[in-house]
Amino acid sequence: MSQDRTVTPKGTPEPTPSVADLEAQERRLVFRRFTHDDAWALGSLLVELARERQAPVAIDIHRAGQQLFHAALPGSSPDNDAWIARKRRVVERYRSASYLVGARFRAKGTTFEESSRLDPDTYAAHGGSFPIAVEGVGVIGAVTVSGLPQLQDHQLVVEALERFLAD
């Protein structure tokens, strides 16, 4: 783990995952297939996890340019939908998690905003959007959460993917 830390809501420092840790998550969290029913089930799991935590998030699942799932929980706002779109575009462009893309730029001593040459009103390399990758196919979409600090958005998506793929 890197030395960067994020403070959790309880005030406990939380280690920030390294680029290698984030890349390992992507290699591990791959689907055999991804259907409309899978999008519903994964989105519903994310809603359940968010409600348990009273997390004020919006949740979105896209596949091949089509929105298959969207939910806005209490406390979320239209700004969360704008963040979802910006983070999802990073996944679609880089074929990697939005948090990992940002981490790769930081590992080079710069930031996504300074070095990507992409419009920050259109793209955001902040945590919360994770690629939906299918074995033998590659990245076909993204699952995105917005409303928490970026590492927590990322971790919520990863936790849901781990649970979903374990079944």
What band does 15 get if pLDDT is binned at 50, 70 and 90? Answer: confident
For the record, the structure tokens of 153 come out as 């958005």
pLDDT at site 13: 60
Mean pLDDT of 94-105: 98
- Residues 118 and 80: their CA atoms lie apart, in Å, by 20
**Interval 20-48: pLDDT, tens:** 999 999 999 999 999 999 999 999 999 99
**Interval 154-165: pLDDT, tens:** 999 999 999 999
Q: What is the pTM of this model?
A: 0.91
With 60 as the cut, is the pLDDT of residue 8 above it?
no
The residue to which tokens 């590992």 are assigned = 107
pLDDT at site 32: 97
- Residues 159 and 75: their CA atoms lie apart, in Å, by 21
pLDDT at site 2: 31
With 80 as the cut, is the pLDDT of residue 84 above it?
yes
